[in-house]
Amino acid sequence: MAQLWGGRFTKETDQLVYNFNASISFDQKFYKQDIEGSIAHVTMLAKQGILTEQERDDIVDGLKSILTDVENGTLKITGEYEDIHSFVEANLIRRIGDTGKKLHTGRSRNDQVALDMRLYTREEVQAVDVLLKGLLQTLLKLMEENIDTYMPGFTHLQKAQPVTLAHHIGAYFEMFKRDRQRLSDIYRRMNYCPLGAGALAGTTYPLDREYTAKLLGFYGPTLNSMDSVSDRDYLIEFLAALSTIMMHLSRFCEEIIIWNSNEYRFVEIDDGYSTGSSIMPQKKNPDIAELVRGKTGRVYGALMSILTTMKGIPLAYNKDMQEDKELTFDAIDTVKGCIALFDGMAATMKFRKEVMEDSAKNGFTNATDAADYLVNHGVAFRDAHSIVGRLVLHCIDKGIALDDMSLEEYRSISPVFEEDIYEAISLRTCVEKRTTIGAPGQEAMKQVIDEEKKYLEAAIFGPWSAEPQNGRENDA
């Protein structure tokens, strides 16, 4: 047991208590951020004359050597330390002697852990964004390739009106685009530095918090020391954004599972992204899509967990907050894995264009267009709706599509129909007449694809380095 706070105690912590309290098994994940934060802290302490330049150099060299050794595996992070902060400090003292004991001047583990978690999360917000951007590129390519791949659009999982595959995938493009915007919003709100808040009430040392914030790439320091050590809003926001990403992935997976079923056969998932059955030789299962759908629950669970943990915590730091880490790390890793796998699955999936088109033809998806035809010939929409309803009933009776009815059959139900009804209800016409922006017609779709291309070229990694627009957002 290696603890930073033994002085006041007259006996050793019970082993079970020690184990229950310790966080090193999971907070070792941010050893790099812990060291990075400490380097910035001592750099500021020296600038303020609180440490000498020599002391700063010794500490920085020691911290850098710890980082190198952890990264190349010569220094192992072990369970004998309570947390990553104790591990780094103890190793520093072992390496450079008493000067190492000055590292923690003007700092508490409360602002230290608040900083580490923020630095870690900030990188992960960007990493998730990079993956989402890759997925958007895959989706845009599929859209470009499929502006004339006709398929049924559904409501209530019933065939409704014809659309194109480009249009259907385009809906998901918009969802994941909004997800990126959410990440960028979160980044802008969270990018303030809590270091210098001390345990809760700041410190009596003349710290330069603006300087530390700048060294660490923050917009500035946080403005209330009690809030600084007890704010986990950014994690809640991030987990909410991750949950929304999973919800989008899960909906898409659900559709792919349906499309991949024996009944639909709209798609074939690549062998590399499918699995077999141990007993049924004919099976090729969409396990990856199912797992992504399933893991959504786990990410929602993390969001619920942290919301619940935070709801009853009085100001300022309380140990409950240590519970923010494992579930957040797990959610981040889960979402990153899911986006990457989904991207690969989508990029390699085969779309059976003829099956999709046949399905659109055979599901009366052009019934609205038949009604519109009548409206264009002077029939009131409500009457047209009823006439086409009767046409559909007739077709169901005979087991044919609207396109297969003879003109005599049409005219026996309404004399308004002429030879041009066939052209008016062809799949191509139904889609191509939908030319307003956002609709599936080719011209409208091409315009959207061009716009999305520009969006992807411009927003490389989101506006990460941009200053917040209204100066310090804390002030707003």
The residues carrying an active-site annotation are 156, 277
Comparing CA positions, the residue from 160, 138, 143, 165 lying closest to residue 259 is: 165
Taking the least distance from each CB to ligand ARG, the nearer of 95 and 232 is: 232
CB of 112 to ligand ARG, least distance (A): 7
CB of 86 to ligand ARG, least distance (A): 9
User: Which residues, in sequence order, are bridge partners of residue 351?
Assistant: 267
Distance CA 459, CA 452 (A): 10
Indicate the SS3 state at residue 275: strand
The pattern of x and - marking residues 406 through 435 that bind ligand ARG according to CB under 6 A reads ------------------------------
Q: Which residue is nearest to ligand ARG (CB)?
A: 322
The answer to whether 259 contacts ligand ARG (rule: CB under 6 A) is no
Taking the least distance from each CB to ligand ARG, the nearer of 89 and 357 is: 89
Strand (E) or helix (H) holding 246 = helix 233-259
Taking the least distance from each CB to ligand ARG, the nearer of 56 and 109 is: 109
Query: If DSSP states are collapsed to H, E and C, what string results for 317-386?
Result: CCHHHHHHHHHHHHHHHHHHHHHHHHHHHHHHCEECHHHHHHHHHCCCCCHHHHHHHHHHCCCCHHHHHH
Distance CA 76, CA 468 (A): 40
CB of 320 to ligand ARG, least distance (A): 9
Read off the tokens for 133. 């951007």
CB of 268 to ligand ARG, least distance (A): 47
CA atoms within 13 A on the CB side of 44: 24
Taking CB under 6 A as the binding criterion, the range among 280-288, 316-324, 339-347, 401-409 that sits at the site for ligand ARG is 316-324
Taking the least distance from each CB to ligand ARG, the nearer of 232 and 293 is: 232
Taking the least distance from each CB to ligand ARG, the nearer of 29 and 168 is: 29
Amino acid at 208: D
Q: How many CB atoms lie within 10 A of CB 458?
A: 7
Structural Rg of the chain based on CA atoms: 30
CB of 474 to ligand ARG, least distance (A): 23
Following DSSP, what letter does each residue of 423-437 receive, concatenated? HHTSHHHHHHT--ST
Read off the tokens for 271. 């062998």
CB of 312 to ligand ARG, least distance (A): 16
Residue 118 near residue 189 (C-beta atoms within 8 A): no
Interacting residue with ligand ARG among 285, 322, 368, 435 (CB under 6 A) = 322
Taking the least distance from each CB to ligand ARG, the nearer of 120 and 172 is: 120
Residue 440 near residue 166 (C-beta atoms within 8 A): yes
Distance CA 305, CA 429 (A): 51
Taking the least distance from each CB to ligand ARG, the nearer of 329 and 417 is: 329
Strand (E) or helix (H) holding 268 = strand 267-268
Taking the least distance from each CB to ligand ARG, the nearer of 7 and 281 is: 7
Distance CA 196, CA 42 (A): 12
CB of 31 to ligand ARG, least distance (A): 13
Task: Kindly state the number of chain residues that form the binding site for ligand ARG, as judged by CB under 6 A.
Answer: 10
Interacting residue with ligand ARG among 317, 329, 364, 417 (CB under 6 A) = 317
* CB contact set of 3 (below 8 Å; sequence gap of 6+): 13, 82, 86
Interaction residues for ligand ARG, span 26-55 (CB under 6 A): 27
Interaction residues for ligand ARG, span 80-139 (CB under 6 A): 83, 109-110, 113
CB of 207 to ligand ARG, least distance (A): 19
The 8-class DSSP code of residue 49 comes to T
Q: Which residues bind ligand ARG (CB under 6 A)?
A: 23, 27, 83, 109-110, 113, 317, 319, 321-322
